[in-house]
Structure 1
Amino acid sequence: MLFVRLIEAVIAGVGGLPPVVSRPTDDLGTRSDTSRAIAFSDAVLAIIITLLVVDLRVPEVPPGRLLSGLLEQWPGYAAYLASYAYVAVVWLNHKGAFNRIRESDRGLHWVNLFVLFTTALLPFPTAVVSDALQEHDQQDQRVAVAFYALIGALLCVSWLTFFHYLSRRKDLLREGVSEGHFPAERVRALVGVILYVAAGLIGYLVAPLAGALVGIALRHHHRAAGGRTAVSPRRVRVTAVIRPKGDPR
């Protein structure tokens, strides 16, 4: 591909020869708008966020003990809220990223599928943490928190891959998107990997609660990823209106 582009550039630059038209079929089937990718991603994330509630069950208690049974399931509620917030942040960041993308290609579809794959794992560690906290076994709680942090780190790896791809494929982005946006988000994702690994180690080696609190605090780290401005200040154009002399306006 690079050799073909080089040949075209040489031919187009030769005096007296007309420029070579772009290849008519090279991108056929590989380039498209982002509507289908966004619709598919929204559907997958909606299913994931719905599956989180499946682990919340009616407690099996004798008559008259329903209230105490519901209260004893508080770890399940906490795990559900934490993972719901996580998926919500993923959706917001996904929306913010695709607002800056003009069209998709095959590589972008694959890295997007990687993000959805890792996000789809969240209901499983959520159920593991919920069960471990309700069983009150310290060793199981350490393993559960470390496992949840591992999935969080893997999710950050998928975002790292996603942002790295977009930082190298500026031709897919909308006009006016800051050149430093996706490289900066790539750094954010890398920091997330490191912090989740640290949270897992703290949860396993020090205290499960401490590791869980670090993981919850990381929601703020991810929350701002999709909210920063997409337009580079260098590309903002100010149009001056020139009025003829004597114009009362």
Structure 2
Amino acid sequence: MEKETVRIENFSDAVFAIAITLLVLDLHVPSSEIIKNGSDLWNYLKEDWASFLAFTLSFFSIFIMWVNHHKIFKQIYTRNTAIMFSNGLILFLASAVSYPTALLARFFDGEASSTVVAIYTGIFVLINLSYNLLWFLASHNRKHLRPEITDLAIRKIRNNYLYGFPTYLIAFGISFEFPKIALLISMLLWIYWAISSGKIDISKS
């Protein structure tokens, strides 16, 4: 079977690269007028810790999104309009991550922390749904998948994304009362997606 998704993958790679680059724009170098010595610089960096936290969280989140996207398209060989638009939804949400990241960097250490964490975790709920949608559209008709993939492999990939969804919902739900715990759950989800991405890279199992 000829692989028809090369252009989709190339375009997606470019969007992920831009989305991940946009994150660094919220890391600002302090003015030389307020930094007179090493102590001033160190104090500035300590006060700006939320920006570094937000950047790190979002960088690895988008990176893991890209890894999963790359591996899922190793299983998808042909495309239709629905697959292309569901992929577009993933790219739209990946591009939008920079905005809640900026909110998190600016307001996490203040009275609006629960709101910004809710917005931040909420976008990842939508991202997880978009991945579920992409795989559903690609796998419900096997003609879009590489010929040798098995039913077991299809179920493993489906379950991989479905199992992550309730965790995202929990993080979103508790963010209104316990924003720091919700953010910690988001960090733990890195590990989950990094490990579970191996389930997507399936040959004939």
Shorter-chain TM-score above 0.5: yes
CA contact (8 A) 1:37 1:109 kept: yes
Pairing partner for 1:157 from 95, 107, 129: 129
Q: Which residue of 1 aligns with 2:155?
A: 183
**Pairs aligned (count):** 199
Q: Which residue of 1 aligns with 2:100?
A: 125
Aligned ranges for residues 162-173 of structure 1 at < 5 Å?
A: 162-173=134-145
My pick for the range that moved more, 55-64 or 146-155, is: 55-64
Instruction: Give the secondary-structure state (helix, strand or coil) at the position aligned to 1:227.
Output: helix
- Whose relative contact order is higher, 1 or 2, with alpha carbons under 8 Å and at least 6 apart? 2
TM-score by length of 2: 0.89
Instruction: Give the secondary-structure state (helix, strand or coil) at the position aligned to 2:169.
Output: helix
Q: Which residue of 2 aligns with 1:17?
A: none
Deviations 1:197-230 (A, max 9, x none): 211222212x221111011111122223432342
1:213 aligns with 2:188: no
In 2, Cα distance between equivalents of 1:225 and 1:179: 18
Q: Which residue of 1 aligns with 2:86?
A: 111
| Structure 1 residues 225 and 178: CA distance shift in structure 2, 3 A | farther
Q: Which residue of 2 aligns with 1:40?
A: 11
CA contact (8 A) 1:32 1:104 kept: no
Percent of matched pairs sharing the same residue: 27
1:120 Cα offset (Å): 1.4
CA contact (8 A) 1:153 1:192 kept: no
Structure with a larger share of its residues in helix: 2
Report the residue type matching 2:96 in the other structure.
Answer: L
Deviations 1:104-143 (A, max 9, x none): 222211111111111111111111111113xx32x31111
Aligned ranges for residues 46-125 of structure 1 at < 5 Å?
A: 46-60=17-31, 62-64=34-36, 65-125=40-100
Report the residue type matching 2:89 in the other structure.
Answer: F
Report the residue type matching 1:198 in the other structure.
Answer: I
In 2, Cα distance between equivalents of 1:111 and 1:179: 22
TM-score by length of 1: 0.74
Report the residue type matching 1:164 in the other structure.
Answer: F
- Where structure 2 has 5 or more consecutive residues not aligned to the other structure, the ranges are none
CA contact (8 A) 2:3 2:77 kept: no
The structure with the larger Rg is: 1
Pairing partner for 1:148 from 120, 126, 137: 120
In 1, Cα distance between equivalents of 2:83 and 2:152: 19
- Where structure 1 has 5 or more consecutive residues not aligned to the other structure, the ranges are 1-30, 234-249
